[in-house]
Every structure is written in C-alpha cells, then in structure tokens.
Structure 1
Amino acid sequence: MTVGAEQFPADEFVAEQPTGLLSRAELLGDVRSVLRTVIIVVAGGLLLGVLWALVAPGQETVTTASGATAGLAAESDHVFDATAVFFLLASAYGVVVGALAWRVRSRRGPVMLVGIALASTAAAWVAARIGTLLAGPLTDRNPVGVLLDRAEASASGTPGPPIPATLTTVPAAIGSFWTVVGAGVGAVLAYLLCAIALGTDDLGRADAPAPEA
C-alpha cells in the first residue's frame, strides 16, 4: 500500500524548539545566587566537623611501664568505624543540601548543580579538618591503671604476676580523606533525582516567581 504524503504533513518532521534553555542573563544571575549558597554550605561543614568529633569512637590502647603500646583487640574496628561514620555524615549532608537547593525553583539548573557539588565536597573537607582538630580535645584521654594477664600479654604465653599498665583512648581519625567525595555525590544524586521525578525541560523555573536581581 502506498502512503500519500498528505497523510504526514511536513511540519510533523520538524524538530521542536528546545524549551527551558537559559539566557546569558539568567546564567549570570544564577552564578551570583549560587555563590551565596556555596558560602552557606561550606560554612555548614564546620558544624559537621564538630558533630563527627562528638560521635566518632576513639580507640583504647594499653601502655606498659616499659613504654610498649598496643591496641585492644575489641577496639580494632573503631578505626574503620570512625571513617565510616564520617562518610555517612558527609553523604547525608550532601543529600540534604541537594534537596534544599532543589526547592530554590528560580535558580534550578546546571549552575546550581555544579555549585552544590563543589560546595558539598568543600564542606566535607572542612569538616574533616575541623573534626580531626577537635577529636583530641573532645576525647577523654585520662589514663586509667589496669593489670594485664602476663600469659595473654606476653608472646611466649608464660604465666606470671600481672603486668601493671595504663589504659588510654586515642582520638578518632579519618582513615581516608577520599570520603569527602561522598558529600558531593549525595548532593548531585539528590538534585538529579528531583529533576527526573519532575520530568519537565524547564525544571519548573517557568512557574517560579521572578528572582531578585
């Protein structure tokens, strides 16, 4: 069967003009607004660092009179725990930043996306630095006198009288500073998921109130 050209008007094959494109003036306006957002997000990293320093677990160690120091077997996991806690806090912070940034309808777009990604990562870096500095002062490192079983403490396992030692707590530390990336990833994913769920080319900016200059 031959299909007539009149059944398919020519205008049906013309690509539609893309909607939601930002003008140069709108992009410049977004940059100025996003810079303010970046400052606020990075400043929030200070509070994030304090929170981590308060909740991150330290590692208890024993020191004998001869100066030998060893960590307790039950405390060995705390090195990983402190890093994992920071990664979860940083990622959660990024998700919250991404969700709150999406609510600024008049500034939705690529400038805001890049801004919160960089700002969240920078905030996590600040949090890591501040948290590491505060972990020492916030950790109770007062030594406690203990007695060690000589058979368990010595490599030969020879029984004998207990060994006097002191128990102290080593402040929490972040095993890898690559964990700061979690904040940026969390912010980007939250923002993109909101954009996907909305499903419009202009990201809802057309219905938003006119932004202030």
Structure 2
Amino acid sequence: MSQVTEDTVARPEPVEPPRVSHRRAALIVVASLAGAGVLVGALWAWLAPPIGVVVGLTRGGERVRGYVGNEADHLFLAAFLVPGFLTVVAVIAAVLVWRWRAHRGPLMAGALAVGSMVAAGLAAGVGAGLARLRYGVVDVASAPVSPEHRVHYAVEAGSVFFGHSPLQIAATIVFPAGIAALVYALCTLATPRDDLGAWPPAEPIVLRYPYAPATDQVQVTDPVPTEADVPPVDPSSPSR
C-alpha cells in the first residue's frame, strides 16, 4: 500500500527585519518607561489631595499634631494613586511592546519589567519632590503656637508609599513590573507560534501523517444456484 503525506501546518507569515537591534530596542523600552515615570510623578503631585494638619499646644506646654476631620483618609488615597497610575502605564506599555512584533521575546519581557520598576521609582521620587516644593514641610517644633494662640493649621502633601518600611517601598516599586509581565505573558500564551512572530522567524514544525487510500469497491451479486443447492422433488407430491 502506498503512503501519502499531507502538510497540516501552514507556512508562517513573512516578518520584516527590524531597523534596530534587540539590545537597542530593550534600551528604548526602558528609557521610554523612565520618561513615563517622570510624567506620572508630575501628574501625581498635581492630583494628589493635600492633608490638613493641626498643631496644638497643650496646657503642659507640649506640642501635639493631628489631622483636621477626615483628612487622614487622604494619606491612603494619595498613596493609592501611585500604584494606580503605574498600573495603567504598565498595561499600556506591555501592549505596545507586544505590538513591536520583530522584537518579541524574553529580552523585551525583561526590559519591560526593569523599565516598569524604574518608572515606579522615578514616579515616587519626582512626585514626592514636587509635592514638597508645592506644600512644604510641616515642622511641629517651629509651628507658631503660643499660650495666646494654641492652635496652628497647616497643609502637607500626601505620601507616595503606604508606609516607610523597606518592604512597603519595595512592594510599590515591584508591583507595576508584575502587572506588565502578566499582560505580556497573556499575549504570549495567545500566540500559536513558537517564535512569537519575531525576527528571525523560526521554521515551523510540519506535522505529517499517513493515511490509507480508498479501497476499490467490490460489487456483490447473488450466487448462481447449483444442483446441490436445489432440493429433490418428491414424485408422489401433488403438483400445483
């Protein structure tokens, strides 16, 4: 029996060679995310709500500090804006990097993660610096309080972190990198090709399978009866 083969995988679409190298493309991604982090920090300093602070002088001559009304809630809101803005940047950056088809691969995924962490650090630093220039620092020791004026109101900027411990700071910086890596991984899983459509294209694995040709149809007819198949006739039986 002859064996017939058939291709089950189509040829990949042609991919144009990139104009820049993979290493330079990775540096472009990191630099672009760094610039986005600076813009996020400036946006945070403009939108983050300030916090009303009151400095009072007790009867014992001790200076105390507190927040006006529910202004303490702005501490959480201001800190939450930083990872919120960085999450949006991470998702958009992951989609745009994936659209750069010729450079898809582990190098770009690493550049995306590193760039997201750089963006988070710059956003926190720029935001905190601009907010300090805008609102200043509340100095409890030099607050103008006296026995005649025991209360002093001031305004301070919100915090870019939920706390000042190293773990809280590291979580804020690493968080957008995890979001960007997750989005990039989902795009990778949705691609049927092993080379992700990047450059240089890899030859696909062609699956071949044998199949048997159709057999000839045989026409089946009724067999011709022989003398052995015909029963004997009894002469005594009446004829019809």
Is 2:153 aligned against 1:167?
yes
Question: Is the contact made by 2:103 and 2:199 (CA closer than 8 Å) also made in structure 1?
Answer: no
- 1:45 maps onto 2:37 in alignment: yes
Equivalent of residue 123 in structure 1, options 119, 124, 128: 119
Instruction: Map 1:82-161; keep pairs closer than 5 Å.
Output: 82-139=78-135
What SS does structure 2 have at the residue aligned with 1:201? coil
Equivalent-residue separation in structure 2 for 1:130 and 1:49 (angstroms)? 5
Normalising by structure 1, report the TM-score: 0.68
* 8 Å contact from structure 1 (residues 98, 116) kept in 2: yes
Helix, strand or coil for the counterpart of 1:166? strand
Q: 1 CA distance for matches of 2:52 and 2:42?
A: 21
Aligned-partner residue type, residue 168 of structure 1:
A
Q: Deviations over 1:131-155 (max 9, x none)?
A: 111112234889xxxxxxxxxxxxx
Structure-2 separation of matches of 1:41 and 1:34: 11
Structure 2: distance between partners of 1:41 and 1:105: 18
**Separation in 1 of the partners of 2:112 and 2:77?**
27
SS state at 2:194 partner: coil
Q: What residue number does 1:70 align with? A: 66
CA contact (8 A) 1:90 1:180 kept: no
1:31, CA displacement in angstroms? 1.7
1-structure distance, mates of 2:137, 2:119:
28
* Consecutive unaligned residues in structure 2, runs of 5 or more: 4-11, 13-17, 139-148, 163-167, 202-240
Residues 186-197 of structure 1 correspond to what in structure 2 (within 5 A)?
Answer: 186-197=179-190
C-alpha deviation, 1:109, in angstroms: 0.4
Among all aligned residue pairs of Structure 1 and Structure 2, give the percentage whose two residues are the same amino acid. Answer: 28
- Aligned partner of 1:197: which letter? A
- AA paired with 2:183? A
RMSD, aligned CA: 3.0
8 Å CA contact 1:91, 1:185 repeated in 2: no
Measured at CA, do residues 86 and 194 of structure 1 come closer, stay the same or move farther in structure 2, by a change above 3 Å?
Answer: same
Higher gyration radius (CA): 2
Structure 1 residues not aligned, in runs of 5+: 1-5, 10-18, 20-25, 143-162, 209-213
Secondary structure in 1 matching 2:70:
helix
How many equivalent pairs are there? 166
Amino acid at match of 2:106: P
